[in-house]
Structure 1
Amino acid sequence: MKIAIGGLSKNVVAAAVEKASGGKIETVVTTDIGAVSLLKKKEVDYYFGACESGGGAAISILIGMIGYSNCCTVTKNGQTVKKENVEKFVNEGKIAFGMSVESIEKTVPLLVEALLEKNAN
């Protein structure tokens, strides 16, 4: 599995993915526009993006370029990530995930767990 990472704090998100996955997931640090191209060419499987709000710069370009139905905001600024919401988004087939910068450390492990579980089946 390969995840493109864009938005703010890209290296923090990449490190969190690598830690949570135990090296099972490869990351590609890029821009949101770069991630669109990688997703369309099927060179990556998913996109994680972080911004201050969680629903703006983290995911807005992806929504416009690959469609709203493929994208979601996992956590907005001031929210606590909920495991059941993460699992719902993954099971709905979302491939682009936006999150607030403040939630990276809690959101990324839940996303990684849900994606690894989905892809193991």
Structure 2
Amino acid sequence: MLKIVVGGQLSKNENAKLIEEFGEGKVEVKILGDLQAAMAVKNKTADYYLGSCQTGAGGALAMAIAMLGYDKCISVAMVGKVLDDEEIVKAIADGKIAFGFVPEAAHTVIPVIMKELLKNVQE
């Protein structure tokens, strides 16, 4: 079972629903405050962090960057720019575990993230 925490400043409930929808019954999703969510990943009680805010970076990833390090985090959708699927897949392959995005892009990036993360989940 993949454990995902949802943080960030906006659309936490909506993001959690999308993660569950695209999680194919193989995910456990918790909505937490940013600090608690980042700490859950750092302490390995959660596998991944997803968060959204108006910029896709600041409010979405600030605590994750502080707790996990910049090298473990990525903004996959910012105002005016959404990474393409291949860039998101590469980021996951490169070890990114915290993903930030603008709420408007949730329907675009969450399915890509979930599809890739689920490739390593055992039945």
Normalising by structure 2, we get a TM-score of: 0.92
Which residues in structure 2 correspond to 1:1-121 (within 5 Å)?
1-7=2-8, 8-119=10-121
> Could you tell me how far 1:119 is from its partner in structure 2?
4.2
CA distance in 2 between partners of 1:32 and 1:92 (Å):
23
Listed one character per residue, the Cα deviations across residues 29-59 of structure 1 (whole Å, up to 9, x for unaligned) are 0011011221122110000000011011101
The structure 1 segments of at least 4 consecutive aligned residues displaced by more than 4 Å after TM superposition are: none
Indicate the percent of aligned positions where both proteins have the same amino acid.
Answer: 37
**Unpaired runs of at least 5, structure 2:** none
Q: 1:50 to 1:117 in 2, by over 3 A?
A: same
Q: Is the 8 A contact 1:81 1:106 kept in 2?
A: no
Calculate the aligned-residue CA RMSD, in Å: 1.2
When normalised by structure 1's length, the TM-score is: 0.93
**Aligned CA distance change for structure 1 residues 80 and 73 (closer, same or farther; 3 Å):** closer
Three-state SS of the structure 2 residue aligned to 1:105 is helix
